[in-house]
Chains A and B, each alone.
Chain A
Amino acid sequence: MYSTKYIKPNSTSEALEAVKSMGEGKFLAGGMTLIPTLKQRLASPDGLVDISGCDLDSISDEGDAIKIGAMTKHASVAESDLVKKAVPALAKLADGIGDRQVRNRGTLGGSVANNDPSACYPSAVLALKAIVHTNTRSIEADEFFTGMFETALEENEMIEAISFSKPTKANYVKFPNPASRYAMVGVFVAQFNDGVRVAVTGAGEGGVFRHAEMEAALSSNYNADALSALEISSEGLISDLHASPEYRANLIKEMTKRAVV
């Protein structure tokens, strides 16, 4: 890696000041994505602002939502009694990310800010009508993800927490890429009083997306059979060594069926 500055402030305001003072600064969360990028010399930020000392790792019950701090580790979400009770699907998702080491370093904020097209969390954010709270504003999930590795975040904008609405029912089913075990297709299905939301990750050329036809079908009948007649289009789906768009389309339907139980 190229040499760079490293600081670890004690509050979000100090962190924001620090990152602004750098030409091109980067927040460092769990480092599970950022550090390998630096080691391979694919990025050369002027400085790293480690935000692990900024008190951003609490989980709280907000009535009809669960609010999770950006620096909360995947393992903490997986183990949280609050999450397990209110949105067990979210705890299950966190428990299926990477391996033990990754789950004990990687964070919610880092994952969502990074918006890897194969990451798991973005599907939960989208399906659970989440609100992304930053240092300047609150962004609705539908506005947040803007493309592969792209989000609505402005330069030096920090995610502080994310509120996930409590669904009446939800589930996340992931078909892992055999090598990386990221999602080759991951489907988060969430049922609310006003309808069902289905978010698909791992499959779209533009990153995570909602699947309107499956949402409509499941909103009128929350049952795997409701999907049987649907033809899932392979248009806009990722093609790589491991899966063709057609195979991904098949997996989207299959994983969604398995999620609706």
Chain B
Amino acid sequence: MNEVTKIDGIGSSVRRTEDKKFLTGKGRYTDDINRPGQVQAYFLRSDVAHAEIKSIDTKAAQSAPGVVGVFTGSDIAADKVGGPICGWVVPCRDGSSTKEPPHPLLAQGKVRFVGDAVAVVVAETMEQAKSAAELIDVDYNELTPVVDFVNADKGAQIHEEVPNNCYFDWELGDESATNKAIKSAAKVVKLSVRNNRLVPNAMEPRSALAEYDSLDESYTLHTTSQNPHLTRLVLAAFMFAIPESKLRVIAPDVGGGFGSKIYVYIEEAVCVWASKKIGRPVKWTADRTQAFLTDCHGRDHANDVQLALDDNNKIIGLRVDTVCNLGAYLSAFSVVVPTILHGTLLSGQYDIPAIYTNVKGMATNTVNVDAYRGAGRPEATYLLERTMETAAREVGMDPAEFRRINFIPKDAFPYQTQVALQYDIGDYEPHLDKAMEMIDYSNFEKRRAEAAKRGMYRGIGMSSYIEACGLAPSAVVGALGGRVGQWESASVRVNPTGTISVFTGSHSHGQGHATTFAQIVADKLGIPIENVEVIHGDTDKTPFGMGSYGSRSLASGGSAISKAVDKIINKSKKIAAHLLEASEDDIDFKDGKFVVGGTDKEKAFGEIALAAYVPHNYPLETLEPGLEENAFYDPTNFVFPSGTHIAEVEIDPATGVVEVVDWAACDDFGNLVNPMIVEGQVHGGIAQGIGQALLEDAHYDENGQLLTASYMDYCMPRADDLPSFKVGYTNTPCTHNDLGVKGCGEAGAIASPPALINAVIDALSPLGVTDMSMPATPQKVWKAIQESQSVAAE
């Protein structure tokens, strides 16, 4: 870890400077913003999962009180407005490409999931809009819905462009080498797992407020986005065909996203369109039910795994066949999540000489599925770490030892996996050892015996995960089918008195960038953190940037800031050299001062700033005045955080309730800028992982109705569902960014579900239980216990 040199520099747990407004309820979110003359939009949504629209009669709604406009798909089509686009496609096994059916802003001819927008009513108030929407008469010809994604190829075809409801059938790795390894193996461990479907549930529901200025023919959109520049690009270039300069997108305070606010949704586009049509600002805000029905969901995979071992229990091959549910339309990153972000992670922390994977992405009559905290990597980690533990049990080895003999050795880095990625650095045994020590692994059997005396089943389970974050480099992204660059931008403006305004292309929606980014600048310039302001989320202010997702903000966005600050320091040295009448090479910069080496001649950073803006004594003939620098940073590789999480549970056989009694997380995130914020990210990630493993499940019935569309039935983790976490770190600094940082935002959600399910299975293993699906609800666990007892009784 970095040496702590200053109280508010890199490595110090500075309190989050943004929290004052959030904790006092003064955050300013999209729905808090109101514009003169504003009207409200309400979307009439399909209540059937799959149907042809025979007719829509909006006449009665048009003349309802307060209504200023009612529009349907034909109005959108008449104006030739495009729909959301897919940001990443992959090639198929048969040589074709991903099938990309159109996604109209309002349904045209067909509805494809419960929640699909059929019409929009714009009225003076939301209640008037809702009342008018009730007067719209839609005549449907219902079709058989496709809900079971594993058998979706046999269901009714949802899109003309998507035969067999298969968007893509992709592969990666060496199939024949892998099959050969499986054939020649001393043992093949087989496992089928499901990764349950989740609803992201950001605390702030999605919202949009669009305004059209007819005088300069420009739009302003306030919206709940994790990447306002991408939203602007998609809306301007692909949907409305207007110059980007005529659209300003502002993502003000945003209350969480977890991936669900990356994409451009139809609602914000319709608000933009309607604001011009009507000539008044148009606002839409989802209620919680709409959030359940229309926010992109996460996960929803079925994986068949075969792990081949030799006589010494060394892994010699891994084959994974995956079917995943992508829902009714392709969302922006639907395709990359289960392929590039999943298949490439299948080597985990292990030295596996042959890997092959095949992924089929299916269309169903459910809402779109896209990135959710971890995006592809939790699914890869879940199947692999479940299989590792199953294999260890089957060969009779301690799961820790089985992992240890298969780890990529420390001296093998950089390590080329068989699934495209090259890990730059890592060292896996230390975090395994430390996590085991933190949870007192060696005394576990004593605790199990003690619990048994109380009638409780106690179990322990682990997961050694790797993740790839800070998606990069752009050229590789392009070669893999990505349609975007994956760099990040920063602009560092030194104000005349030496205070700093940092404009970042990243976007904070809870992560604490205002603090972390300021720490980097403060540390590098030797100035107090109070002198650094971080500005984000407004396309008129910040340079074009890619936003925040995939744990990329520090590794990519922070590195861009670091580079811009380096440029500031370089220019400042030139100014200092002039003022101090010394050669630039003799100027050292330390603790906020420019010093002529070996002398006591010095200038403070503030003096340099002032000289740059009041250039009375300044080398104007060779140097521009002012002090402001931009940087665009394109990483040369992903960053690869890794770690080991160990969970300990107790199960009450009478009720099936699983209590998480202990948790040790030891992560290697490289250098930590703000350990307190990192710990918060780890806690939040584990909480979400525990939610997935024990509580959360988005459940559609066979008619395509979402049964878990409220908190009455969709179970979010609460504080009393969680233990007190033990959090520790190891550190192998990233080799290819200046800060030596990796990413920490998703690790908890990636590592935790398999650790927890492994612990549940371990607790029940004395009964002969070998499998448990997520979420391990009390009913499911109780039933597994009952069934094992009836088997035992036979």
Contacts and interface: CB of A to CB of B under 8 A. Distances in A.
A179 B130 contact: no
B81 to A, nearest CB: 30
Contacts of B779: 242-244, 247
B712 A179 contact: yes
B713 A180 contact: yes
Interface in B694-732: 695, 699, 707-708, 711-716
Contacts of A149: none
Contacts of A175: 655
Nearest to B657: A175
A41 B129 CA distance: 13
Interface centre among A41, A179, A180, A241 (most CB of B within 10 A): A179
Nearest to A254: B654
A138 interface: no
A178 B127 contact: no
Contacts of A94: none
B131 interface: yes
Nearest to A258: B654
B655 A179 contact: no
B285 to A, nearest CB: 14
Interface residues of B, number: 23
Interface string A239-259: 001111001001100100000
A22 interface: no
A41 B707 CA distance: 19
Interface in A38-83: 40-41
B778 interface: yes
Interface string A12-35: 000000000000000000000000
Contacts of A2: 127, 131
Interface string B779-793: 100110000000000
A7 interface: no
A244 B695 CA distance: 17
Given A2-B131, A41-B130, A178-B777, A242 B713 contact: yes
A138 B665 CA distance: 60
Contact of B711 (A1, A180, A241): A180
A10 B763 CA distance: 60
Contact of A179 (B289, B715, B783): B715
A3 interface: yes
Contacts of B654: 250, 254
A170 B289 CA distance: 40
A182 B708 CA distance: 16
A247 B654 CA distance: 10
Contacts of B715: 178-179
Interface string A162-182: 000000000000010011101
A3 B66 CA distance: 14
Interface string B364-383: 00000000000000000000
A2 B777 CA distance: 38
A72 to B, nearest CB: 25
Contacts of A247: 656, 778-779, 782-783
Nearest to A180: B712
Nearest to B694: A178
Contacts of B712: 179-180, 182
Interface centre among A178, A180, A241, A254 (most CB of B within 10 A): A178
B603 to A, nearest CB: 58
B199 to A, nearest CB: 12
Nearest to B695: A178
Nearest to A178: B715
Given A1-B127, A241-B699, A247-B783, A179 B711 contact: yes
Nearest to B287: A39
Interface in B748-794: 777-779, 782-783
Nearest to A99: B718
Contacts of A179: 695, 708, 711-716
Nearest to A2: B131
B713 A3 contact: no
Interface centre among B716, B777, B779, B783 (most CB of A within 10 A): B779
Nearest to B699: A241
Contacts of B713: 179-180, 241-242
A244 B778 CA distance: 11
A244 B779 CA distance: 8
Contacts of B714: 179
A258 to B, nearest CB: 9
Interface string A115-126: 000000000000
Nearest to A1: B127
A242 B777 contact: yes
A250 B778 contact: no
Contacts of A41: 130, 134
B124 to A, nearest CB: 14
A241 B778 CA distance: 12
A203 to B, nearest CB: 13
A178 B654 CA distance: 16
Given A1-B127, A3-B127, A179-B711, A250 B777 contact: no
Contacts of B716: 179
Interface in A156-207: 175, 178-180, 182
A78 to B, nearest CB: 18
Nearest to A118: B712
B758 to A, nearest CB: 21
A132 B507 CA distance: 58
Nearest to B134: A41
A119 to B, nearest CB: 13
B777 A254 contact: no
Interface in B428-469: none
Contacts of A251: 655
A252 to B, nearest CB: 12
B655 A241 contact: no
Contacts of A250: 654-655, 782
Nearest to A39: B287
Contacts of A40: 289
Nearest to A182: B712
Interface string B127-160: 1001100100000000000000000000000000
Interface centre among B131, B134, B695, B713 (most CB of A within 10 A): B713
A40 B714 CA distance: 18
A175 B779 CA distance: 12
A1 B125 CA distance: 12
Contacts of A178: 695, 715, 777-778
Contacts of B707: 241
A182 B714 CA distance: 13
Interface in A82-107: none
Contacts of B127: 1-3
B774 to A, nearest CB: 14
A15 B699 CA distance: 44
A182 B127 CA distance: 30
B357 to A, nearest CB: 32
A152 B711 CA distance: 30
A250 to B, nearest CB: 7
A158 B291 CA distance: 38
Contacts of B655: 175, 250-251, 254
A180 B779 CA distance: 16
Nearest to B701: A241
A65 B708 CA distance: 42
Contacts of B656: 247
Given A178-B778, A254-B655, 5 more contacts: A41-B130, A175-B655, A179-B714, A242-B779, A247-B779
Interface of A: 1-3, 40-41, 175, 178-180, 182, 241-244, 247, 250-251, 254
22 contacts: A1-B127, A2-B131, A40-B289, A41-B130, A41-B134, A179-B695, A179-B712, A179-B713, A179-B714, A179-B716, A180-B711, A182-B712, A241-B699, A241-B707, A242-B713, A242-B777, A242-B779, A243-B779, A244-B779, A247-B783, A250-B654, A254-B655
9 residue pairs, one from A and one from B, having the closest CB atoms: A179-B715, A180-B712, A178-B715, A247-B779, A254-B654, A243-B779, A179-B713, A178-B695, A241-B707
